[in-house]
Amino acid sequence: MQVINSTPRPDAPRAETLKGLVLVIEDERAISDLLRMYLSREGFGVHVASDGVTGLSFARTLHPVAIILDVGLPGIDGTEVCRQLRAEGDWTPILFCTARDDEVDRVLGLELGADDYITKPFSPREVVARVKSVVRRSMRAAASEGPITMGKVELDPVTRRVTADSVPVALTATEFDLLAHLMANPSRVFSREQLLSEVWGYAAVVGTRTVDVHVAQVRSKLADCDVIRTVRGVGYAAEPPR
């Protein structure tokens, strides 16, 4: 699968579980480039939209783990993007970027359901810290620290070891992250687009076959102990065998 505009590479080694895809909706190229650089460095995948309409459509299709949303955008502005997503029941964490203090007042006054806001000029480090904080708050289950057991599979997020029927299973970093994400959210069905965003930090702009390939690999390694269920037309879930 070819991936546009996204980082990092699928099997790049990493110290901790990937942090997912962040959608940056910002029309100033210098700012979006800076955010991309800082967020990538922290292990986030980054996808950029430079106007409100494109941003809204990416938010709907790419299932980012967080959105950095500029208020002043061409076409529909940031407040309207936020309003539409919330109206659709989409509660992806949103961090507003405002150019002036009166914009902050406007954003707060509209009660748009934003998770945080930051005023320009901002330090990219500060933005990264805020993004981490909203993502951490929203992904409570995935942050589960102790070993997870499901059927005959045991997975330890700290040592990154997996056993099936007490036999160690050798998984690649990506296979481990995928299985850990599914097992940390038992029975929750994830679409392929969600898994690409949340596990790989990728935007599913071209295709999602990479998810199927990795699921198949994990399954073949777990063999008789497999806990991944295919939900036809939707995606995948982990649940104990019945």
Residues 170-229 that bind Ca ion (CB under 5 A): none
Cβ atoms 2, 18 nearer than 8 A: no
Cβ atoms 6, 202 nearer than 8 A: yes
Sheet of 235-238: strands edge to edge?
A: 190-191, 235-238, 228-231
Q: In the numeric block, which tokens belong to residue 96? A: 């507003």
For residue 135, the minimal CB distance to Ca ion (Å) is 23
72 in contact with Ca ion (CB under 5 A) = yes
Angstrom CA distances, 47 to 33, 85, 186, 197, 215, stand at 10, 17, 28, 10, 24
- Is the backbone peptide bond immediately before 93 cis, with ω within 30 degrees of 0? no
Stretch that binds Ca ion, among 35-43, 44-52, 70-78, 115-123 (CB under 5 A): 70-78
For residue 33, the minimal CB distance to Ca ion (Å) is 14
The smaller minimum CB distance to Ca ion, of residues 26 and 177, is found at 26
77 in contact with Ca ion (CB under 5 A) = no
Stretch that binds Ca ion, among 25-33, 35-43, 58-66, 130-138 (CB under 5 A): 25-33
The smaller minimum CB distance to Ca ion, of residues 27 and 226, is found at 27
Cβ atoms 172, 14 nearer than 8 A: no
70 in contact with Ca ion (CB under 5 A) = yes
75 in contact with Ca ion (CB under 5 A) = no
Measured from the Cβ of residue 121, the count of other Cβ atoms closer than 10 Å reads 7
For residue 190, the minimal CB distance to Ca ion (Å) is 33
Tallying the residues shown for the chain, one arrives at 242
Cβ atoms 198, 20 nearer than 8 A: yes
For residue 124, the minimal CB distance to Ca ion (Å) is 16
Closest CA to 70 of 89, 86, 85, 55: 55
Q: Pick the binder of Ca ion from 27, 103, 115, 177 (CB under 5 A).
A: 27
The smaller minimum CB distance to Ca ion, of residues 72 and 186, is found at 72
DSSP structure class, residue 142:
G
Stretch that binds Ca ion, among 64-72, 77-85, 186-194, 206-214 (CB under 5 A): 64-72
For residue 88, the minimal CB distance to Ca ion (Å) is 23
154 in contact with Ca ion (CB under 5 A) = no
Residue whose Cβ sits closest to Ca ion: 72
Binding-site ranges for Ca ion (CB under 5 A):
27, 70, 72
